[in-house]
């Protein structure tokens, strides 16, 4: 699924659920610049997918047109198909990568990340009998629980006993790696999803790009 299509899908979905939403609210929710959000909304208007209705105090209300409803239905199907491909690709990669933990016999593991990739990693670890001793995030945004585990900051890992650190995220993980290195965590005890610059702050890597990044490292899962 291309980025433009993904952005249209997210915007149309949000507008259909809240007609009073503003461009500023959309920009904040999706991590986009306000100017880019304005451009994307005007493009949807030009496509005939939404129409802008003037309200008092120079406010606009956005409504989906029949053409927009049809576009949203098509994009929803595309997104579900994309998500399934992404899930299976990540699961296959992680199952291979995380097998090194099971084979080592030392299975106490810290999981860094709380997104979709981390959820899949957590389930695979559990299926293989690996004990997740802690879940951490680079910065906490209010989420306190992850599969009934308290989410900690990276700094709190100094109080946790573990054999491995699994960084499960499509974000740029170099800051996390640098901090772990400064704390003396051996590189050979860190496993991560291959690092790629994020395409969009609110968008995961497209399937094709993700597959390209995974294939070269199937046999080289340690740093």
The predicted pLDDT at position 209 comes to 45
Query: Same structural domain for residues 23 and 126?
Result: no
d(CA 81, CA 93): 19
The predicted pLDDT at position 194 comes to 55
Whether 105 shows a pLDDT value over 70: the answer reads: yes
Q: Tell me if 76 sits within 8 A of 8, measured CB to CB.
A: no
Task: Say which DSSP state 20 is in.
Answer: T
Write out pLDDT tens, residues 150-204.
999 888 888 888 899 999 887 778 888 888 888 888 888 898 875 444 444 344 4
Query: Same structural domain for residues 168 and 198?
Result: yes
Query: Same structural domain for residues 71 and 87?
Result: no
Report yes or no on 164 lying in a domain: yes
The predicted pLDDT at position 159 comes to 85
- Segment 33-49 shows an average pLDDT of 91
Report yes or no on 145 lying in a domain: yes
Show which of 75, 94, 122 is a domain's final residue. Answer: 75
- Both tokens assigned to 89: 């690709």
- Both tokens assigned to 12: 């149309």
Query: Same structural domain for residues 180 and 129?
Result: yes
Q: Report percent pLDDT > 90 for the chain.
A: 19
Closest CA to 176 of 221, 139, 220: 139
Query: Same structural domain for residues 51 and 124?
Result: no
Whether 86 shows a pLDDT value over 60: the answer reads: yes
The predicted pLDDT at position 57 comes to 64
Query: Same structural domain for residues 172 and 150?
Result: yes
Query: Same structural domain for residues 60 and 116?
Result: no
pTM assigned to the model = 0.59
The pLDDT mean for the chain works out to 79
Query: Same structural domain for residues 55 and 98?
Result: no
Write out pLDDT tens, residues 209-223.
444 444 333 322 322
Closest CA to 69 of 51, 43, 42, 84: 51
Closest CA to 130 of 98, 153, 88: 98
Query: Same structural domain for residues 164 and 131?
Result: yes
Structural domain that includes position 58: 3-75
d(CA 112, CA 88): 21
Report yes or no on 102 lying in a domain: yes
Query: Same structural domain for residues 63 and 90?
Result: no
Query: Same structural domain for residues 139 and 209?
Result: yes
* Distant-in-sequence, close-in-space partners of 180: CB < 8 Å, separation ≥ 6: 154, 165, 190
- Both tokens assigned to 50: 């939404």
- Both tokens assigned to 137: 């995030």
Query: How many domains are contained in the chain?
Result: 2
Q: Tell me if 144 sits within 8 A of 94, measured CB to CB.
A: no
Report yes or no on 222 lying in a domain: no
- Segment 82-96 shows an average pLDDT of 79
Query: Same structural domain for residues 160 and 66?
Result: no
Closest CA to 162 of 147, 183, 139, 193: 183
Show which of 75, 98, 128 is a domain's final residue. Answer: 75
């Amino acid at each position: 699924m291309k980025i433009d299509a993904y952005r249209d899908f997210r915007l149309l979905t949000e507008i259909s659920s809240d007609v009073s939403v503003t461009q500023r609210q959309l920009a904040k929710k999706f991590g986009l610049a306000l100017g880019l959000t304005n451009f994307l909304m005007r493009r949807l208007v030009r496509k005939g997918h939404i129409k802008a209705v003037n309200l008092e105090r120079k406010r606009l209300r956005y409504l989906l047109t029949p053409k927009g409803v049809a576009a949203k239905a098509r994009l929803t199907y595309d997104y579900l198909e994309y998500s399934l491909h992404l899930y299976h690709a990540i699961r296959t990669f992680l199952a291979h990568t995380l097998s090194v933990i099971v084979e080592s016999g030392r299975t106490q593991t810290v999981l860094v990340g709380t997104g979709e990739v981390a959820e899949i990693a957590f389930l695979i670890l559990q299926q293989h009998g690996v004990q997740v001793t802690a879940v951490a995030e680079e910065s906490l945004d209010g989420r306190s629980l992850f599969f009934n585990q308290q989410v900690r900051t990276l700094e709190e890992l100094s109080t946790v006993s573990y054999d491995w650190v699994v960084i499960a995220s499509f974000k740029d993980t170099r800051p996390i790696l640098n901090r772990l290195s400064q704390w003396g965590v051996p590189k050979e005890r860190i496993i991560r999803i291959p690092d790629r610059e994020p395409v969009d702050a609110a968008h995961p890597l497209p399937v094709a790009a993700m597959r390209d990044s995974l294939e070269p490292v199937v046999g080289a899962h340690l740093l």
